[in-house]
Structure 1
């Protein structure tokens, strides 16, 4: 057996693993979002100091969107809801697993506060094991999952915003003006 045969086998194995991974839909984590095409956007929320609002602002600014109150369109974060429910139980009837749910309702409005897009709701869920012997670890895991869910909601929101252009919003605004004129 020559020295090049193990290299050939290794190369084939790596190539095969790569093809399998790409064929099953595997991809590296990232935003997975095209850039937002809107130049300016105002952003409002009931809780302007909350982590979701802050994360959305940061993501928009990183994407090159100028967040300003004088923007022609406003992204309104209308409601954020979080819930938790037991999904399985132990033999002693204590929760073994919890399902966390988060949702974010938003809309895009014009300067006259007329909804051009939405209201739409995006949501995400995660499940974790309730370890009654490690309460601190379980609490930290829940906190970590909540942060990941907030990031997921932000990614979903940016994905939705990436499909919009200022000309599309402008044409929706013009249609509303025409409807009110009739």
Structure 2
């Protein structure tokens, strides 16, 4: 009897606890438009955003802005490393990794759905000259994670856009 309880009861209690706390897997995102033109410098952020839109929404990406219901424009995508701390010998001991994206969402006619918005992600990276390659790989992983967080934030803002709302209202409702 005790083995049966352990085998079935504990997983059942865990499942009930997870549903009770509001946990759910991230599903698809509902965007208010079925066709979206994505424009801007073709870098890792734009590629990841296109991939995320294609994988998690019913929205299709089009190359022609005139055929789209909305036009996403990536105005800026920049990464940088800022020295934050130095060793006694004057070498850098810690960097702050920064990725910044600036974007806007317009209708094909030029009406603003999301006014120009800047999103910045930062992360700290300790540095050692004896592990240069490992730290470069770690920096790449951190940038990838920051980029994915930025894509999720952009997707959240795109999902908050509703037809008929002005850019100020759409931007004010999203974080």
What do the CA deviations read for 1:45-100 (whole angstroms, capped 9, x no partner)?
A: 1x23x211111111111122111221121011111121211111212121111110
What do the CA deviations read for 1:104-148 (whole angstroms, capped 9, x no partner)?
A: 111111112332211011111111110110111111111111111
**Alignment match, 2:125:** 128
8 A contact 2:112–2:166 mirrored in 1 = no
**Alignment match, 1:61:** 54
Higher Cα Rg, which structure: 1
**Alignment match, 1:161:** 158
Moved over 3 A (4+): 170-173
**Alignment match, 2:102:** 105
Cα shift at 1:34:
6.2
Between 112-121 and 131-140, the greater mean CA deviation after superposition: 112-121
**Alignment match, 1:43:** 38
What runs of 5+ residues in structure 2 fail to find an aligned partner?
168-175
8 A contact 2:45–2:147 mirrored in 1 = yes
**Alignment match, 1:179:** none
TM-score, length basis structure 1: 0.71
Count matched residues. Answer: 156
Distance 1:152 1:33, change over 3 A: farther
Cα shift at 1:36:
3.1
Q: CA RMSD in A?
A: 3.2
**Alignment match, 1:93:** 90
TM-score, length basis structure 2: 0.74
* Separation in structure 1 between the aligned mates of residue 99 and residue 36 of structure 2, nearest angstrom: 24
* Separation in structure 1 between the aligned mates of residue 111 and residue 135 of structure 2, nearest angstrom: 44
Cα shift at 1:33:
7.3
Q: Secondary structure at the match of 1:134?
A: helix
